[in-house]
Amino acid sequence: MAEFTKLIHKYLRHDKKFPHVWCPGCGNGIFLGALIRAIDRTGFEKDQIVIVSGIGCSGRISVYVDFNTLHTTHGRALTFATGIKLANPKLQVIVIMGDGDATAIGGNHFIHAARRNLNITAIVVNNSIYGMTGGQYSPTTPYGATATTALYGNIEHAFSIAELAAMAGASMVARGTVYHANLLDELIEKAIVKRGFAVVEVISHCHTQYGRRNRMGGAVDMLRWQKESAVKIDKAQTMTAEELTGKFTIGVLEDRDLPVYTHEYNKIRDAAKAMLAKAG
Amino acid sequence: MITAKSRGRQLLLQGNEAIVEGALAAGCRFFAGYPITPATEISEVMSYRLPAAGGTFIQMEDEIASLGAVIGASLAGTKAMTATSGPGFSLMQENLGFACVAEVPCVIVDVMRGGPSTGLPTNVSQGDVMQARWGTHGDHPIIVMAVSTTQDCFDITVKAFNFSEKYRTPVIILSDEVVAHTREKIFLPHPGEIEVLDRIRPNTPPEWYIPYEDNPRGVPPMGIFGDGYRYHVTGLLHDVRGFPTQRPDEIIPFMSRLFRKVNQHFYDIQVVEEESTEDAEVIVIAYGSVSRSARRAIREARKRGTKAGLVQLMTLWPFPRQILEPLLRRVRAVLVPELNMGQVSREVKRINQGATRIETLNRIDGNLITPNEILVRLVKL
Ligand SMILES: Cc1ncc(C[n+]2csc(CCOP(=O)(O)OP(=O)(O)O)c2C)c(N)n1
Ligand code: SF4
């Protein structure tokens, strides 16, 4: 059996009524592959892993994988994940969100989760659009692009999700693309084993809702665009701002050791117990 | 209920503090909240009591996040609670529906203040009775309890946790500004004398576990994240395995079970306290802080020769119609005083079906209805 077929047998649910909901050629499928390869490499048991997802095309991943899975409400995945991690810090909690999910309706939760620094892995599949609801502009839709709610061109400016996460205080931040699948495996694996809040922004494509409308072609053309626009972070450091216009960086953008929330909270428990004992 | 005999420690507490004591006694070890008057003391007391008890307190970025975290903690096997007031309760409605559909035990305290909107932050009200029933979208069953004294705050909070665990459903406790901040005597029972229920966990081998399979109780055993029963939890309507479905032959049994599990246990869930109803010709139906005034009023009315009785509702939803119907057929008239424009009285009228005369007494100016106001109406009924 091919290596990946083994992983499919091990990690995808057999009792789930496939087919999945995604369009043929969607980046979510490639991301799903990267996710299970990365999890396999970390060596965690399936029972130890909790996949928490938001609402959107990417959020549907939780249905297909054989872990403890939780499909939450739109934008709130990180809040549920916070409760899970605090109640049982031994669980490896991986949160999967769309760009709208994580940075529009869930934007506040996203920055606060980064600031709190629980040991959680947060993955944002950024396809620059609201896929599931049919192509409305999202906080990552580029200026000037068209969407079903921006027929005359989008006049808002896009968030840069990875940079936002770093500014908000995440311990680790990485960006990858579904085109650079090997790198994506590595980045997700790193983020899972990282102690602290680790964010991976996954640049993906929604050819159905975004590509078509913005004359970017089909899935293959959009993958080619990812290949041509992504610059590895170490190479980017040698390039001028001019050379970098229209490009984005990929790789580990931030990696630092910060106090982890559950660890800090244990100190609070000790202090509270000591105070109580003193009070008799 | 805890009887006077079994009562242990005597303390002087305010309602908000007593809710914390009740929660801790019931086994609550997780609290997530966002500050709001008049519920804030619940967060404050939880923040120093929980860590000492080995539990976790967290102040979230808003009430949406608070209930999200509570649901997450419960799915990971910890009894969890949040507390808020009207504006925050409105923000919780979406995740409340999630907890109903995913059948996640949790307790939500709403200390009611004057509304709508930011309203009267420091004044009493009972304006959220219908929000507690119908605030989240879609058809759903819900259990809602009301508290009127500090002692209630303790006893009913324990009961709320027990119901939520037993029936795998969110339970809402409606308190109000007066109950929350009134400092009065309370008896805390010895821990061993408190009935504490825990959710039923699966005991089949994991590969045989069907997470949402029906049984006579209508409440499937609940797997906990990490204990080997890997399954899917979702707010989408789902089949017995937890997977999203749009098939009527799967949706109908699921939704029916959701309602059945609450409705068929009404005799357990519907808690009321009656005073002098046996020979009553007129009765007052009241709940929360207003029932304190009502109690005084019916005692006074009796002294003046009016055969008055009180039915205090501890359970507001599912509405205790099975208990009230026989009473409505027996009495000459009913008075329903409440701090809103008539939310429970509407329900009383609905079940009354013309059996007796229903009168209302409403106040929405941020002040409590006094015993005298009730008395004046009672003697004229
Ligand atoms: C509270 C709420 N508002 C709106 C929706 C409708 N809705 C479902 S998915 C979605 C957008 C998803 O976009 P994104 O997060 O970018 O994920 P994608 O589908 O592109 O993967 C919206 C607005 C909802 N489910 N809940
Ligand atoms: S709509 Fe877009 S994001 Fe959703 S499945 Fe289709 S291609 Fe993927």
Split chain B (381 residues) into runs of 10 and give each run's mean pLDDT: 60 97 98 98 97 98 98 98 98 98 98 96 97 98 98 98 98 98 95 96 96 98 97 97 96 98 97 98 98 98 97 98 97 98 98 97 98 97 91
CATH number of the domain located at residue range(s) B273-380 in this protein: 3.40.50.920
* CATH classification at residue A253: 3.40.50.970
- Residues with Cβ within 8 Å of B89's Cβ and at least 6 positions away in sequence, in order, are B63, B108, B110, B128, B131, B132, B135
Mapped onto helix, strand or coil, the DSSP state of residue B260 is: helix
Domain that holds residue A240: 2-279
Instruction: Tell me the ipTM for this assembly.
Output: 0.98
Ligand lying closest to the C-alpha of residue A202? 1
In the numeric block, which tokens belong to residue A128?
């620059």
Mapped onto helix, strand or coil, the DSSP state of residue B275 is: strand
pLDDT of residue A279: 84
Q: Which residues are bridge partners to B146 per DSSP?
A: B174
Establish if B4 touches chain A: CB-CB under 8 angstroms: no
Q: A91-110, pLDDT tens digit by residue?
A: 999 999 999 999 999 999 99
Q: For chain B, what are the domain ranges? A: 4-188, 273-380
Choice from A61, A125, A129, A132 to test ligand 2 binding pocket (greatest atom count within 8 A of CB): A132
Nearest CA to ligand 1 atom 2: A74
8 A C-beta contact, residue B185 and residue B12: yes
Instruction: Compute the distance between CA of residue A114 and CA of residue A139 in angstroms, rounded to an integer.
Output: 18
User: In total, how many domains does chain A have?
Assistant: 1
pLDDT of residue B7: 53
pLDDT of residue B116: 96
pLDDT of residue A67: 98
pLDDT tens digits, chain A, 280 residues: what are they? 788 899 999 999 987 666 889 999 999 999 999 999 999 999 999 999 999 999 999 999 999 999 999 999 999 999 999 999 999 999 999 999 999 999 999 999 999 999 999 999 999 999 999 999 999 999 999 999 999 999 999 999 999 999 999 999 999 999 999 999 999 999 999 999 999 999 999 999 999 999 999 999 999 999 999 999 999 999 999 999 999 999 999 999 999 999 999 999 999 999 999 998 898 7
Q: Are B72 and A108 in contact (CB < 8 Å)?
A: no
Look-up of token digits 């219908």? B130
Establish if B75 touches chain A: CB-CB under 8 angstroms: yes
Q: How many CB atoms lie within 10 A of CB B183?
A: 12
Q: A186-245, pLDDT tens digit by residue?
A: 999 999 999 999 999 999 999 999 999 999 999 999 999 999 999 999 999 999 999 999
Quickly list DSSP for A193-222: HSSS-EEEEEE---IIIIITTTT--SHHHH
Closest-CA residue of B relative to A267 is B51
CATH number of the domain located at residue range(s) B4-188 in this protein: 3.40.50.970
Taking the whole predicted model, whether its pTM rises above 0.90 is answered as: yes
